Structure 1
Amino acid sequence: MSAPRPTVSHLGTTALLFEAPGETSLDQQQRIWSLARLAETWPEVREAVPGVNNLLVSFRTVPRRFEPLADRLCEAWDSASALSLGGRVIELPVVYGGEGGPHMADVIAHTGLDVEEIVAIHSAPVYPVFALGSHPGYCYLGGMDPRIATPRRQVPVVKIPGGAVSIGGAQTGVSASDGPSGWNTIGSTRMRFFDASRDPPALLQPGDSIAFTVAEIRR
């Protein structure tokens, strides 16, 4: 049986979306970073933006044919090696539960674990930043323990505050600004992830990591 192949699709007339085959992992994501670095050296490429298990490639001008560019991405993926970016580790104090963690009870009900167990499991790993997206400054993180994986909410919350620490399926993350969410919010932090006056505006970049620390557990 042949190995799964990447999928490449059009995004309008000036971009392609490359989607890697296989499960999401740090090694897989590091290959995405490597592919992004290479693609940005191609003269026709304006920008290569890593996503989770995918890469958005935009072009300086509308190409006459997309197929050669798609083939080139797939060939580059076959030879891409994992790129370790060696970023910073940011410690993030979290107040778990209470008003800032309104869905902790739902995670408890789904996992069968108590609040101390959930907090211990959630705060144990160092989470690599796989990609930025969703909204400015938001980090897609890898490395969450599957024991606390909890399905996304059937009815999204209209507004959660910036700094909300949440679990959605097999992932965890921290909202960078106020907005809607379908994830389960289990805590809060005061970290500011995006500031337009900074250079770069986003606090974290792919290759950086987050280490959650327990500031307090509220019931």
Structure 2
Amino acid sequence: MDFKIVSVDSFIIYFGDFIDEKIALEIKKAYFCIKKLNLEGIIEIIPSYTSIFITFDIFKYDFETLKDLIKQNINLQIDENFEEKIVEIDVYYGTEVGFDLEYLSSKTTLSIEEIIKIHTNKLYDVYAIGFLPGFAYLAKVDEKIAFPRLSTPRKIVPKGSVAIADFQTAIYPQQSPGGWNIIGKTTFELFDKKLENLSPLNVGDKVKFNPISKEEFLVQGGVL
């Protein structure tokens, strides 16, 4: 663990510098330990791919005191029985909504059907929530369909668009600009202001994408 000061009231704990399941598990354990302390002076704890960002009340703690307290209480050997939540999300992978499917197919030499099968054939870990409220960064995408961001981002990406950028995949929780490759669309709601982190997905959860037909998508309230 490497503690780095960000500002007078915040710091980051680094666990590595690349996307990795072992690092993700360490972050999950550390996040659990910090939350379990239930310290009144900690304002925000934000886990990400390789780090945990913490903001704190400077009238209750200074950096060194809080750093020592957290280091003493993080146990990466903890054998806690973490509940694994798998969230299943239906996706329509049609070219009407998957704007970049044909382009990815031509660049990867895979058929659209093969791209869909590869994308839906695994569980994705939720590594971080950010960019937009409810925007969950999921990884890792199979290297066969991993593809760089668009050179020119779109001004408008429809709500519910399922996308790929490099080894990450995600769902746009609302209409917004974006530069990820769009391969499908879902009616699954990613933003809920009643929830603590504004999303039904939390860091540490897993996501399974299920391919559905156009008819099923429309019955669910989907818009082409």
Bucket of the pairwise TM-score, normalised by the shorter protein: 0.7 to 0.9
Instruction: Decide which of 9, 15, 22 is 1:20's aligned counterpart.
Output: 15
1:188 counterpart residue number: 185
Q: Distance in 2 between matches of 1:199 and 1:134?
A: 16
Q: More deviation in 98-107 or 147-156?
A: 98-107
User: Could you tell me whether the CA contact under 8 Å between 1:127 and 1:209 is conserved in 2?
Assistant: yes
Q: Distance in 2 between matches of 1:15 and 1:200?
A: 19
- 1:110 match: secondary structure: helix
Taking only aligned residues, the RMSD between alpha carbons, in angstroms, comes to: 2.6
2:76 counterpart residue number: 80
Matched, 1:37 2:32: yes
1:204 counterpart residue number: 201
1:104 counterpart residue number: 101
User: Could you tell me whether the CA contact under 8 Å between 1:48 and 1:56 is conserved in 2?
Assistant: yes
2:54 counterpart residue number: 57
Task: For residue 142 of structure 1, report the CA deviation from its aligned partner.
Answer: 2.1
TM-score (normalizing by structure 1): 0.83
Q: More deviation in 191-200 or 13-22?
A: 191-200
Q: More deviation in 95-104 or 164-173?
A: 95-104
Task: For residue 123 of structure 1, report the CA deviation from its aligned partner.
Answer: 0.6
Task: For residue 30 of structure 1, report the CA deviation from its aligned partner.
Answer: 1.6
Task: For residue 149 of structure 1, report the CA deviation from its aligned partner.
Answer: 0.4
Q: Distance in 2 between matches of 1:75 and 1:29?
A: 20
Cα distance per residue 1:33-57 (max 9 Å; x no partner): 2112223317443332211111011
Q: Distance in 1 between matches of 2:196 and 2:6?
A: 28
> In the comparison of the two structures, how many residue pairs are matched?
211
Query: Counterpart amino acid of 2:93?
Result: Y
Task: For residue 64 of structure 1, report the CA deviation from its aligned partner.
Answer: 7.5
Gaps of 5+ in 2: 215-224
1:90 counterpart residue number: 87
Task: For residue 144 of structure 1, report the CA deviation from its aligned partner.
Answer: 1.9
